[in-house]
Amino acid sequence: MTLGSPDFWRRRRVLVTGGAGFLGSNLCHALAGLGARVTALDAMLPDGGANPANLEGAGVMLVRGDLRETELHSLCQGVEVLFNMAAQTSHMGGQRDPVADLAINAVAQVRLVQVMREVAPKAVVVHASTRQFYGRPLSLPVDEFHPVNPPDANGVSKWAGEQYWMLENRVLGRPVVSLRLTNCYGPRLRIADARQTFLGIWIRRVLEDAPFEVWGGSQLRDLAYVDDVTRAFLLAAEQADRPEVAGRVFNLGGAPPLSLLELAHLLIAANGGRGRFETREFPPDRAPIDIGSYHADDRAFRAATGWAPMVPLEEGLRRSLAWYRERLADYAF
Ligand SMILES: NC(=O)c1ccc[n+]([C@@H]2O[C@H](COP(=O)([O-])OP(=O)(O)OC[C@H]3O[C@@H](n4cnc5c(N)ncnc54)[C@H](O)[C@@H]3O)[C@@H](O)[C@H]2O)c1
């Protein structure tokens, strides 16, 4: 199944920041398959989801460079669509080093904003944002009118980065769309540890026949399979000239909400019944920034674009396990 419209993407010049990471690399594969001319920019930061294996076979050009310092003019020249996926994504990392977190997620974003103004003023921008800065939800599901209450430094920097891009729309009329993502999963997610999401290390442990840990267990999540997320980004770009889409921030959810305990059982079922887990109290250093339960009200994006998630959770988990089973050496280092 193609995830986007080949007529729209054929020969289109696309820049994907964070293109060697989880979501960026999946986008790169889809875009190249649709005939786009794709450049991936990535600093290959060791603590994030960057992995050279992520772009294997994609047929895109990878530029190793850091948004904080790389010369960006030549990279951005002539770009028609920017998928802006690069970020410092670790919540604990942001707490430990808020200056570095802010430098990547906000200051470097302003640097990119300014260069794009100079050399690609008409390009469409689809920005990867996050549900994180809503904080602990006041009520569920969470729509776009929920107050912004970042629970950690990473939430503050991601909010700032998003807002700098939205200003480009409000002040200069650039077609910008921001997608506030829920927890995403699937092939090319970092599974070496829990830095990207708890589900990464769960997948690794299950495949290595080792127990994984469930912290708490009653928290609700609405996981989004990566192909559905990729399709949402492509649709947002394809429709960014429509007033219903341009200049808007949208929540993006996924599967119907379920508790982490239910998810743990589903993962084991998807592995043919093999796997085991232990439940633990939330670690004291993480508890203060935990947001509890979350699931998105993403009806606005569905209504504006016609998007709906298509991969059921059970199927997404099966596909993920099968994909990593073949590639454990590249991902479980
Ligand atoms: N994956 C999720 O569940 C999720 C949820 C909410 C929001 N998001 C957002 O989606 C985007 C992509 O997330 P992901 O899960 O693919 O993360 P990821 O860590 O896999 O990818 C981000 C990539 O950005 C690169 N990067 C970081 N700083 C950079 C810099 N200064 N210059 C160039 N490259 C840099 C990293 O090396 C990495 O490859 C991020 O903006 C993230 O905040 C993701």
pLDDT at 281 over 80: yes
Ligand 1 site residues, Cβ closer than 6 angstroms: 17-18, 20-24, 41-45, 48-50, 66-68, 85-89, 104, 108, 128, 130, 158, 181, 183-184, 196-197
Q: Which domain holds residue 142?
A: 8-190+223-254+295-311
Tokens 């920041």 — which residue? 17
Ligand 1 center from residue 274 Cα (angstroms):
31
Spatial contact of 20 and 55, defined as CB atoms under 8 Å apart? yes
Is omega for the bond preceding 288 within 30 degrees of 0, making it cis?
Answer: no
pLDDT for 78 equals 97
Residue 155 belongs to some domain of the structure: yes
Residue 109 belongs to some domain of the structure: yes
| Residues ≥6 apart with Cβ < 8 Å to 244 | 304
Residue 214 belongs to some domain of the structure: no
Residue 317 belongs to some domain of the structure: no
pLDDT at 116 over 90: yes
pLDDT at 315 over 70: yes
Residue 78 belongs to some domain of the structure: yes
pLDDT level of residue 1 (50, 70, 90 thresholds): low
Count the domains in the chain: 1
Distance CA 43, CA 50 (A): 8
pLDDT for 3 equals 86
Sign of CA dihedral 133, 89, 173, 118: positive
Instruction: Give the ligand 1 atom nearest the CA of 89.
Output: 43
Q: The CATH number of the domain where 96 resides is what?
A: 3.40.50.720
Distance CA 116, CA 113 (A): 5
pLDDT tens figures, 41-61: 999 999 999 999 999 999 999
pLDDT tens figures, 207-254: 999 999 999 999 999 999 999 999 999 999 999 999 999 999 999 999
pLDDT level of residue 138 (50, 70, 90 thresholds): very high
Q: Among 55, 66, 89, which residue has the most ligand 1 atoms within 8 Å of its CB, making it the best to mutate?
A: 89
pLDDT at 184 over 80: yes
Mean pLDDT of 294-312: 98
pLDDT tens figures, 95-104: 999 999 999 9
pLDDT level of residue 333 (50, 70, 90 thresholds): confident
Tokens of 147: 């107050």
pLDDT tens figures, 152-172: 999 999 999 999 999 999 999
Residue 41 belongs to some domain of the structure: yes
The single-letter DSSP state of residue 17 is E
**Rounded to the nearest 5°, which phi and psi values hold at 56?**
-60, 125
Residue 320 belongs to some domain of the structure: no
Residue 151 belongs to some domain of the structure: yes
Mean pLDDT of 265-287: 95
Instruction: Give the ligand 1 atom nearest the CA of 224.
Output: 3
Spatial contact of 166 and 158, defined as CB atoms under 8 Å apart? no
Tokens 């689809």 — which residue? 126
Ligand 1 center from residue 206 Cα (angstroms):
25
Q: pTM of the entire structure? A: 0.98
